[in-house]
Amino acid sequence: MAKRYIGIDLDGETARVALLTVEGAQVALELHKRHYTSPEDARSVLDELTGGARPLGDHLVTALPAGAGFVRSLSFPFKERSKLMAVLAAELEAQVPVSLAQHTCAMQSPREENGTYRVTAAAVRSALIEELLEQFPDPAQQPRRIDLLPHALVGGLGEPDGLLVYCGRQETVVALVIDGRVEEFRQLPTDDDLSEEEICRFVLNQLALLERSAGRDNLPLWICGSAVTEGLQRSLEVAGAVLSALVLPVDQDVPAEFLPALLVALSEKKGNRQIGFNFRTGSYAPRGQLEMLKKKLIAAAILGVLCLLAFAASGYFNYHRKAEQAALLKQHLEEVFRQTMPSAKVIVDVPLQLRSRYQELQQQALLLGVGGQGTALNVLQTLSSLIDEGIKSDLQEMTYSGDQVRLDGYTDSFDSVNRITQGLQKSTLFSKVEISEAKMAADGGRVDFQLQIDLMQAGEGL
């Protein structure tokens, strides 16, 4: 079955959806966008754009704006997730200027550095998560993961190092990406009063600062977002910025406004969740899918147990009945065996003993010329009658196997061998006579030969 990875970008006015359908090695991309005015309107729009998300077949993912949360780098002497989650909120609260009582915390996977473990952690207001979830149709169609910009985007990039610029309706973010993770980012809230020139100046300044802090030059520069315009791109290029094209596993051009949704979907497809966040945790964990299937699963389990019990009971009664039949049959066979072979003292395997005795009697009958035309005695008589008395020959050995005879002998010439063969072929007792070997003796006085004779089987000549 095909899998769908759905990246959703919501900016408060417009919903942009990148729908990746993966079936084997084939990847198909659909891009949709629609305006909305309220959470109720957004629910209807998302239901239409996603085509009715399947609970178990779709991977929906979205992201909150960078300005919605606090991001800090923490250091711990351990890496166990259970321990980290137990102390994460307290450690993070010590480094931010507000109480985190009304916030939800998440973290990326820890990285070892000089004997300690570095963890990138984030906290966002719980109310923002609730507002975001209200814009989705129902629990079964809510996103499996809620990430945070710009971290949500880097998992879909084709390169591990570079500079990423996100220009959206609510904010502009410039991020430094090193080893596939956001190492540092700068964020500028935007509104209608902020000019394109001011955004360009902010981006250029932050690019220079981030390159300087990383000690790297000529890093690839990617730009994406709904607020990216041709004028902004020209201004950046005029100022000396070299924009790089994203390497995407799709065979179509993707406009800049859809790139955030697509990058989020690609990150989910690649399984790069360890370099992002997931705020679907705690009370916001995606339980809707299991709750929806819970009753059906319980009913299916009960039905399965009942079917298993019925199958076991039926199997037991069938086995018991057949065991009784087998015991009666065995008793009857033993009675027949004693009547047929009264001299046998030990009964081990009645069918096997009867079959063995039958084969012995059959072999004796064949040798004595009883029970059919293809007996050893009949063969000898036929050979004597069909070999011309005028042919000087001597049969030295005859090997009889019940369905085949091999003759070894010698005569005075090759012509005599052919005459013997032709004579034997006239018999209705033999189905096939072949010369398997004929050669002149070393002294040249005789021809040694060997004939292969197949006996006619019952019904073969009819």
In tens, the pLDDT along 2-27 reads 788 999 999 989 999 999 998 888 88
Domain with CATH 3.30.420.40 in the chain: 164-245
Whole-number pLDDT of residue 448: 92
Instruction: Report residue 217's pLDDT band, with 50, 70 and 90 as the boundaries.
Output: confident
Whole-number pLDDT of residue 141: 78
Whole-number pLDDT of residue 462: 42
Query: If you write DSSP's letter for every residue of 239-264 in order, what string do you get?
Result: TT--B-----SSSS---GGGHHHHHH
The fraction of the chain above a pLDDT of 90, given in percent, is 50
Averaged over 181-191, what is the pLDDT? Answer: 93
> What's the CA gap between 154 and 162, in Å, rounded?
10
Question: Which residue has 């009857």 as its token pair?
Answer: 332
Question: Which residue has 């990039």 as its token pair?
Answer: 157
Q: pLDDT at residue 460 above 70?
A: no
pLDDT tens across 133-145, in order?
999 877 777 888 9
Averaged over 79-105, what is the pLDDT? Answer: 92
Q: pLDDT at residue 77 above 60?
A: yes
Whole-number pLDDT of residue 50: 83
Strand partners, 187: 173
Instruction: Report residue 294's pLDDT band, with 50, 70 and 90 as the boundaries.
Output: low
Whole-number pLDDT of residue 283: 85
The 3-state DSSP composition of the chain as helix, strand, coil percent (nearest 5) reads 40, 30, 30
Q: Are 143 and 109 in contact (CB under 8 A)?
A: no
Q: Who contacts 374 (Cβ-Cβ below 8 Å, separation ≥6)?
A: 366, 402, 403, 429, 455, 456, 457
Provide the strand spans (E) within 77-205: 103-107, 111-113, 116-125, 145-148, 162-167, 171-178, 181-189
Q: pLDDT at residue 222 above 90?
A: yes
Averaged over 146-162, what is the pLDDT? Answer: 92
pLDDT tens across 358-415, in order?
777 766 665 555 555 557 778 888 888 888 888 888 888 888 877 889 999 999 999 9
Q: pLDDT at residue 199 above 70?
A: yes
Whole-number pLDDT of residue 282: 84
Q: pLDDT at residue 148 above 60?
A: yes
What fold is seen in the domain 164-245?
Answer: Nucleotidyltransferase; domain 5 (3.30.420)
Q: Are 48 and 41 in contact (CB under 8 A)?
A: no
Whole-number pLDDT of residue 64: 96
Q: pLDDT at residue 48 above 80?
A: yes
Q: pLDDT at residue 439 above 50?
A: yes
| More confident position, 342 or 105 | 105
Q: pLDDT at residue 295 above 70?
A: no
> What's the CA gap between 392 and 116, in Å, rounded?
105
Whole-number pLDDT of residue 94: 93
Domain with CATH 3.30.1360.100 in the chain: 369-455
Instruction: Report residue 259's pLDDT band, with 50, 70 and 90 as the boundaries.
Output: very high
Q: pLDDT at residue 328 above 80?
A: yes
CATH class belonging to 1-71+98-107+123-158+254-286: alpha beta
- Please give the model's pTM, rounded to 2 decimal places: 0.63
Q: For domain 369-455, which architecture applies?
A: 2-Layer Sandwich (3.30)
